Structure 1
Amino acid sequence: MTDAIHLKTQLQACRSKEDTFKTLVTLSKTLPRLTAEDKTEVNKIKGCESAVWLIIEESHGIRHFEADSDAKLMRGVLVAILSLVEGKALTDIQQMDLKAELAELNLSSYLTSSRANGILAILEKIQAPKQ
């Protein structure tokens, strides 16, 4: 998993929407694919423009995430989101302003209103207590 500091530097270095797009597509290749068995309705995020699946495992109070999407751009965004929260306790994740963190990553120009709704749904699931 790409660490948040390195990823932030990479995305903040982008000078255009095209640079950001290329960087996100490159990042998307670092996200391990989920198996067909993991791509269930239970794991699917509702409200996303593209299909997105998110699996949250919790062990000893620490959250671990797996995610996938059928869209390369969204897979890159998932890498960015997961770099912020992977390996953290739920209480720490809940105290984070994830929308502000994403804005710092230069992603706001890329998030269309329909895509932004999906991102919000992902962030809500990440910050929600275990189901």
Structure 2
Amino acid sequence: MTDSLGQQKPVNIKALLQACRSKEETFKALVTLSKTLPRLSAEKKTEENKVKGCESAVWLVVEESHGIRHFKADSDAKLMRGVLVAILSLVEGKMLADIQKMDLKAELAELNLSSYLTSSRTNGVLAILNKINTV
């Protein structure tokens, strides 16, 4: 099931990733998810939209309409694009105050991504979460 932006609903992504029983299954699921993330145009890949602290290039665009936040993101790394889909599925269509009340680190911990989050990648994910909470 997808939302209006073509992104999968959080429950489906959570269930998909939690159902993975091996590193290989998780990798395949993340690659599949990466294909659902629309690519950003070159005009959106600006320094302002770039997330500092990520191992790979990651761009995050936050748009707000009537207090509701909408996110667009991209990365030059396929695996990171899958991780972005998982992260955005948690926050898409919510108000900033609601996002800030969430424990996004705990939510991500439930998605079985730990084997893919090396220390440098974890720093990048934390930078993404920080940008989601502050922009």
Bin for the TM-score computed over the shorter chain:
over 0.9
TM-score by length of 1: 0.97
* Runs of 4+ more than 2 Å apart: none
Give distance in 2, aligned partners of 1:19 and 1:49: 23
| 1:53 aligned partner | 59
Give distance in 1, aligned partners of 2:18 and 2:56: 25
Shift of 1:9: 0.6
TM-score by length of 2: 0.94
What is the aligned-residue identity percentage?
Answer: 79
CA offsets 1:57-94 (integer angstroms, 9 cap, x no match): 01111100000000000000000000000000000000
Give distance in 2, aligned partners of 1:99 and 1:110: 15
Partner of 2:47: helix, strand, or coil? coil
Give distance in 2, aligned partners of 1:63 and 1:110: 27
| 2:87 aligned partner | 81
Give distance in 2, aligned partners of 1:92 and 1:10: 24
Aligned pair partner of 1:43 in 43, 49, 69: 49
Partner of 1:58: helix, strand, or coil? strand
Give distance in 2, aligned partners of 1:45 and 1:127: 13
Unpaired stretches in structure 2, ≥5 consecutive residues: 1-6
Shift of 1:108: 1.4
CA offsets 1:92-128 (integer angstroms, 9 cap, x no match): 0000000100010111121000000000000001011
| 1:127 aligned partner | 133
Give distance in 1, aligned partners of 2:51 and 2:130: 10
Aligned pair partner of 1:64 in 50, 70, 86: 70
Number of aligned positions between the proteins:
129
Give distance in 2, aligned partners of 1:98 and 1:31: 20
Partner of 1:55: helix, strand, or coil? strand
1:109 aligns with 2:115: yes
| 2:36 aligned partner | 30
RMSD (Å) for aligned C-alpha atoms: 0.6
Partner of 2:49: helix, strand, or coil? coil
